[in-house]
Amino acid sequence: MRQARILIADDHELARVGLRRLLEEHPGWEVCGEADDGRQAIEKARMLKPDVVLMDIGMPQLNGIEATRRIRRELPGTEVCILSVHDSEPLVRQAVEAGARAYLLKTDGKRDLVFAVEALLEHKTWFTGAVRAMMLRHFLAQAPRSLRDKLAARGLDKQEIEILRLLAESQDNRQIARRLGVSRSVLARCRSKLARKLGFRSPHELVRYAARNLTFEL
Protein backbone atom coordinates (compact mmCIF):
# COMPACT_ATOMS: atom_id res chain seq x y z
CA MET A 1 0.00 0.00 0.00
CA ARG A 2 1.42 3.37 -1.01
CA GLN A 3 2.16 6.12 1.48
CA ALA A 4 -0.44 8.87 1.90
CA ARG A 5 1.16 12.09 0.62
CA ILE A 6 0.56 15.34 2.50
CA LEU A 7 1.60 18.88 1.54
CA ILE A 8 1.98 21.48 4.30
CA ALA A 9 1.31 25.11 3.36
CA ASP A 10 2.04 27.60 6.14
CA ASP A 11 4.12 30.78 6.13
CA HIS A 12 5.51 30.07 9.61
CA GLU A 13 8.48 27.71 9.59
CA LEU A 14 7.94 26.59 13.19
CA ALA A 15 4.35 25.67 12.37
CA ARG A 16 5.49 23.60 9.40
CA VAL A 17 8.13 21.84 11.50
CA GLY A 18 5.57 20.98 14.17
CA LEU A 19 3.02 19.71 11.67
CA ARG A 20 5.62 17.61 9.86
CA ARG A 21 6.70 16.01 13.12
CA LEU A 22 3.12 15.12 14.08
CA LEU A 23 2.21 13.79 10.66
CA GLU A 24 5.31 11.67 10.21
CA GLU A 25 4.66 9.94 13.53
CA HIS A 26 1.68 8.32 11.83
CA PRO A 27 2.50 5.07 9.98
CA GLY A 28 1.76 5.25 6.28
CA TRP A 29 1.87 9.04 6.00
CA GLU A 30 4.61 11.14 4.44
CA VAL A 31 5.03 14.88 4.08
CA CYS A 32 5.84 15.19 0.38
CA GLY A 33 6.49 18.93 0.42
CA GLU A 34 6.12 22.32 2.09
CA ALA A 35 5.06 25.76 0.86
CA ASP A 36 5.36 29.12 2.58
CA ASP A 37 2.89 31.17 0.52
CA GLY A 38 -0.32 30.60 -1.41
CA ARG A 39 1.14 30.66 -4.91
CA GLN A 40 3.87 28.23 -3.95
CA ALA A 41 1.21 25.95 -2.45
CA ILE A 42 -0.54 25.77 -5.81
CA GLU A 43 2.74 25.13 -7.66
CA LYS A 44 3.78 22.41 -5.22
CA ALA A 45 0.35 20.79 -5.42
CA ARG A 46 0.53 20.71 -9.23
CA MET A 47 3.99 19.17 -9.12
CA LEU A 48 3.56 16.72 -6.23
CA LYS A 49 -0.16 15.85 -6.54
CA PRO A 50 -0.60 15.21 -2.79
CA ASP A 51 -3.57 13.36 -1.32
CA VAL A 52 -4.10 16.09 1.28
CA VAL A 53 -3.02 19.71 1.65
CA LEU A 54 -2.92 21.32 5.10
CA MET A 55 -3.52 24.97 4.22
CA ASP A 56 -3.02 27.93 6.55
CA ILE A 57 -5.84 30.37 5.85
CA GLY A 58 -3.68 33.51 6.22
CA MET A 59 -1.00 32.97 3.56
CA PRO A 60 1.03 35.72 1.85
CA GLN A 61 0.99 36.20 -1.94
CA LEU A 62 -2.36 34.43 -2.17
CA ASN A 63 -4.63 33.65 0.76
CA GLY A 64 -5.39 30.09 1.76
CA ILE A 65 -9.00 30.18 0.60
CA GLU A 66 -8.13 31.28 -2.94
CA ALA A 67 -5.25 28.81 -3.07
CA THR A 68 -7.67 26.09 -1.98
CA ARG A 69 -10.14 27.08 -4.69
CA ARG A 70 -7.50 26.79 -7.42
CA ILE A 71 -6.06 23.52 -6.12
CA ARG A 72 -9.48 21.90 -5.88
CA ARG A 73 -10.38 23.10 -9.36
CA GLU A 74 -7.20 21.74 -10.93
CA LEU A 75 -6.74 18.67 -8.72
CA PRO A 76 -10.18 17.41 -7.66
CA GLY A 77 -8.63 14.28 -6.13
CA THR A 78 -6.59 16.37 -3.69
CA GLU A 79 -8.43 17.24 -0.47
CA VAL A 80 -7.72 20.40 1.54
CA CYS A 81 -7.86 21.02 5.28
CA ILE A 82 -7.93 24.68 6.26
CA LEU A 83 -5.93 25.62 9.37
CA SER A 84 -7.00 28.82 11.11
CA VAL A 85 -6.95 30.66 14.42
CA HIS A 86 -10.52 31.88 13.69
CA ASP A 87 -13.80 29.96 13.89
CA SER A 88 -15.91 32.72 12.33
CA GLU A 89 -18.87 31.59 10.26
CA PRO A 90 -18.00 33.70 7.15
CA LEU A 91 -14.49 32.21 6.98
CA VAL A 92 -15.76 28.66 7.38
CA ARG A 93 -18.41 29.24 4.71
CA GLN A 94 -15.83 30.69 2.31
CA ALA A 95 -13.50 27.75 2.95
CA VAL A 96 -16.25 25.20 2.24
CA GLU A 97 -17.36 27.08 -0.88
CA ALA A 98 -13.74 27.02 -2.09
CA GLY A 99 -13.71 23.23 -1.81
CA ALA A 100 -12.12 22.57 1.60
CA ARG A 101 -13.68 19.54 3.28
CA ALA A 102 -12.00 20.02 6.66
CA TYR A 103 -11.46 23.05 8.91
CA LEU A 104 -9.26 22.90 12.00
CA LEU A 105 -8.41 25.52 14.57
CA LYS A 106 -4.74 25.88 15.38
CA THR A 107 -5.66 25.45 19.03
CA ASP A 108 -7.01 21.95 18.33
CA GLY A 109 -4.98 18.97 19.45
CA LYS A 110 -3.03 16.26 17.68
CA ARG A 111 -6.00 13.88 17.79
CA ASP A 112 -8.15 16.29 15.78
CA LEU A 113 -5.40 16.66 13.17
CA VAL A 114 -5.15 12.88 12.80
CA PHE A 115 -8.93 12.50 12.55
CA ALA A 116 -9.11 15.26 9.92
CA VAL A 117 -6.43 13.72 7.72
CA GLU A 118 -7.94 10.24 8.09
CA ALA A 119 -11.33 11.58 7.00
CA LEU A 120 -9.89 13.43 4.02
CA LEU A 121 -7.97 10.36 2.86
CA GLU A 122 -11.39 8.69 2.60
CA HIS A 123 -12.79 11.83 0.86
CA LYS A 124 -15.02 12.60 3.84
CA THR A 125 -15.46 15.80 5.80
CA TRP A 126 -14.03 16.78 9.18
CA PHE A 127 -14.73 19.91 11.17
CA THR A 128 -13.57 20.71 14.67
CA GLY A 129 -16.26 20.50 17.36
CA ALA A 130 -16.82 24.25 17.68
CA VAL A 131 -17.04 24.62 13.90
CA ARG A 132 -19.47 21.68 13.56
CA ALA A 133 -21.77 23.25 16.13
CA MET A 134 -21.64 26.58 14.33
CA MET A 135 -22.36 24.94 10.96
CA LEU A 136 -25.25 22.98 12.40
CA ARG A 137 -26.77 26.21 13.72
CA HIS A 138 -26.35 27.71 10.24
CA PHE A 139 -27.99 24.69 8.62
CA LEU A 140 -30.97 24.80 10.97
CA ALA A 141 -31.39 28.51 10.26
CA GLN A 142 -31.29 27.91 6.50
CA ALA A 143 -33.11 24.56 6.32
CA PRO A 144 -36.52 24.37 4.68
CA ARG A 145 -39.23 25.17 7.18
CA SER A 146 -40.88 21.76 6.74
CA LEU A 147 -37.72 19.82 7.68
CA ARG A 148 -36.84 22.11 10.58
CA ASP A 149 -40.38 21.90 11.96
CA LYS A 150 -40.44 18.14 11.51
CA LEU A 151 -37.19 17.63 13.44
CA ALA A 152 -38.21 20.06 16.21
CA ALA A 153 -41.68 18.56 16.52
CA ARG A 154 -40.22 15.10 17.02
CA GLY A 155 -37.97 16.37 19.81
CA LEU A 156 -34.57 15.73 18.20
CA ASP A 157 -31.64 17.29 20.03
CA LYS A 158 -28.41 18.54 18.45
CA GLN A 159 -26.57 15.26 18.95
CA GLU A 160 -29.36 13.30 17.28
CA ILE A 161 -29.38 15.65 14.30
CA GLU A 162 -25.60 15.24 14.06
CA ILE A 163 -26.04 11.44 14.05
CA LEU A 164 -28.50 11.78 11.17
CA ARG A 165 -26.07 13.99 9.26
CA LEU A 166 -23.23 11.51 9.70
CA LEU A 167 -25.48 8.63 8.63
CA ALA A 168 -26.31 10.63 5.51
CA GLU A 169 -22.57 10.78 4.79
CA SER A 170 -22.44 6.94 4.97
CA GLN A 171 -20.34 6.98 8.13
CA ASP A 172 -20.31 3.68 10.03
CA ASN A 173 -20.89 3.23 13.78
CA ARG A 174 -17.17 3.28 14.61
CA GLN A 175 -16.63 6.56 12.74
CA ILE A 176 -19.75 8.20 14.16
CA ALA A 177 -18.87 7.21 17.73
CA ARG A 178 -15.38 8.63 17.27
CA ARG A 179 -16.69 11.88 15.76
CA LEU A 180 -19.12 12.33 18.66
CA GLY A 181 -16.60 11.27 21.29
CA VAL A 182 -18.79 8.51 22.70
CA SER A 183 -18.50 4.73 22.97
CA ARG A 184 -20.17 2.47 20.41
CA SER A 185 -22.55 1.17 23.07
CA VAL A 186 -23.66 4.73 23.90
CA LEU A 187 -24.09 5.43 20.18
CA ALA A 188 -26.20 2.28 19.79
CA ARG A 189 -28.54 3.51 22.53
CA CYS A 190 -28.72 6.96 20.92
CA ARG A 191 -29.55 5.44 17.52
CA SER A 192 -32.27 3.26 19.05
CA LYS A 193 -33.81 6.26 20.80
CA LEU A 194 -33.55 8.31 17.60
CA ALA A 195 -35.23 5.58 15.56
CA ARG A 196 -38.08 5.42 18.09
CA LYS A 197 -38.56 9.19 17.95
CA LEU A 198 -38.84 9.02 14.17
CA GLY A 199 -41.09 5.98 14.23
CA PHE A 200 -38.68 3.52 12.60
CA ARG A 201 -38.42 -0.15 13.52
CA SER A 202 -34.94 -0.89 12.17
CA PRO A 203 -31.54 0.84 11.81
CA HIS A 204 -31.80 0.45 8.04
CA GLU A 205 -34.96 2.57 7.94
CA LEU A 206 -33.14 5.28 9.92
CA VAL A 207 -30.21 5.24 7.47
CA ARG A 208 -32.56 5.49 4.48
CA TYR A 209 -34.36 8.42 6.10
CA ALA A 210 -31.06 10.24 6.71
CA ALA A 211 -29.87 9.66 3.14
CA ARG A 212 -33.17 10.94 1.72
CA ASN A 213 -33.64 13.98 3.93
CA LEU A 214 -30.24 15.16 5.17
CA THR A 215 -27.86 14.72 2.24
CA PHE A 216 -26.57 18.29 2.56
CA GLU A 217 -23.08 19.78 2.57
CA LEU A 218 -22.62 21.79 5.75
Burial code (b: 16+ CB inside 10 Å, e: under 16) for 119-158 equals bbbeebbbbbeebbebbbeebeeebeeeeeeebeeeebee
In a domain, 109, yes or no: yes
Average pLDDT over residues 56-85: 94
In a domain, 187, yes or no: yes
In a domain, 218, yes or no: no
Residues 87 and 184 occupy one common structural domain: no
The confidence score (pLDDT) of residue 149 equals 64
pLDDT bin (cut points 50, 70, 90) of residue 49 is very high
In a domain, 137, yes or no: no
Residues 52 and 94 occupy one common structural domain: yes
Domain containing residue 187: CATH number: 1.10.10.10
In a domain, 178, yes or no: yes
Asked which of 11-25, 43-57, 85-99, 159-173 is least confident by mean pLDDT, the reply is 159-173
Residues 128 and 150 occupy one common structural domain: no
Which class for 15: exposed (0-12), middle (13-18), buried (19 or more C-beta within 10 A)?
middle
Write out pLDDT tens, residues 112-149: 899 999 999 999 888 877 777 776 666 656 655 555 56
- Domain that residue 203 falls in: 143-213
Residues 55 and 93 occupy one common structural domain: yes
**Number of structural domains found in the chain:** 2
The residue among 93, 83, 85 whose CA lies nearest residue 138 is 93
Residues 95 and 202 occupy one common structural domain: no
Residues 47 and 128 occupy one common structural domain: yes
Residues 171 and 83 occupy one common structural domain: no
Residues 16 and 111 occupy one common structural domain: yes
